[in-house]
Amino acid sequence: MTTAMLNALNEQINQELFSAYLYLSMAAHFEATNLPGMAQWMKVQAHEETIHAMKFYNFILDRGGKVTLKAIAQPQTEFKSPMDIFKQALEHEKKVTSLINKLYEQAQADKDYPAQVMLQWFINEQVEEEKNATEIVARLELIGESKGQLVYLDHELGKRKAEQE
């Protein structure tokens, strides 16, 4: 594995852990605003991001590389509304998609075939991540100002369970 690839993978661990922090911050906001289902959805999302970080962590170790952990930036802590939060989550997932694509481009440039295979899983995962956030934003747009429908959506999102590692 090249130094450039190793550095990029270590940076992605940081990005995945930041994502977990961001989703936990969003969950805390939902808890504080009495939307426990949306909080649950975000906590599951945070858990998934931690799993993603560990996939990169383990991949580096499996390849004989050194994991170098960096400080995790503080996430935003103030939010306006559920729509604001899910739009931010969607934009964040688009950013992560861009980062994964850049990693794949690095792996191609390095002819690092094991990294390309591993990153294919993340490319597919990002399609799902963007789809999930897009669908929730679309549902919130349909709901508009209806408090009853918001409570129903909150209840529905609360049914999300964490995936097993």
Please check whether residue 165 lies inside any domain of the structure.
Answer: no
Spacing of C-alpha 111 from chain mean position: 27
**CB-count burial class (<10 Å; 0-12, 13-18, 19+) for 85:** buried
Q: What is the pLDDT of residue 32?
A: 97
- What is the average pLDDT score of the chain? 97
Number of domains in the chain: 1
Residue 164 has pLDDT above 70, yes or no: no
Please check whether residue 37 lies inside any domain of the structure.
Answer: yes
Q: What number is the average pLDDT over the span 116-132?
A: 98
How confident is the model over 47-88, as pLDDT tens digits? 999 999 999 999 999 999 999 999 999 999 999 999 999 999
Helices (H), strands (E): how many in the chain? Answer: 5, 0
Q: What is the pLDDT of residue 162?
A: 79
Measured in degrees and rounded to the nearest 5, phi and psi for residue 50 equal -65, -40
Please check whether residue 60 lies inside any domain of the structure.
Answer: yes
Are 20 and 84 in contact by the 8 Å Cβ rule? The answer is: no
Contacts of 104 (CB under 8 A, 6+ apart): 116, 119, 120, 123
Residue 39 has pLDDT above 90, yes or no: yes
Please check whether residue 163 lies inside any domain of the structure.
Answer: no
Q: What is the pLDDT of residue 161?
A: 87
Please check whether residue 38 lies inside any domain of the structure.
Answer: yes
Look up the CATH number of the domain holding residue 153.
Answer: 1.20.1260.10
Q: Which segments of 63-112 does DSSP mark as H helices, in order?
A: 82-109
User: CB neighbours (10 Å) of residue 165?
Assistant: 9
Please check whether residue 162 lies inside any domain of the structure.
Answer: no
Cα distances from 156 to residues 30, 41, 136, in angstroms, run 14, 9, 11
DSSP assigned state of 3: H
* Domain boundaries, position 150: 3-67+79-157
Q: What is the pLDDT of residue 165?
A: 55
Please check whether residue 59 lies inside any domain of the structure.
Answer: yes
Query: Above pLDDT 70, what percent of the chain?
Result: 98
Residue 36 has pLDDT above 80, yes or no: yes
Q: Tell me if the pTM is above 0.75.
A: yes
Q: What number is the average pLDDT over the span 33-49?
A: 98
With CA atoms as reference, report the closest residue to 45 among 147, 164, 162, 165.
162
Task: Report residue 29's pLDDT band, with 50, 70 and 90 as the boundaries.
Answer: very high
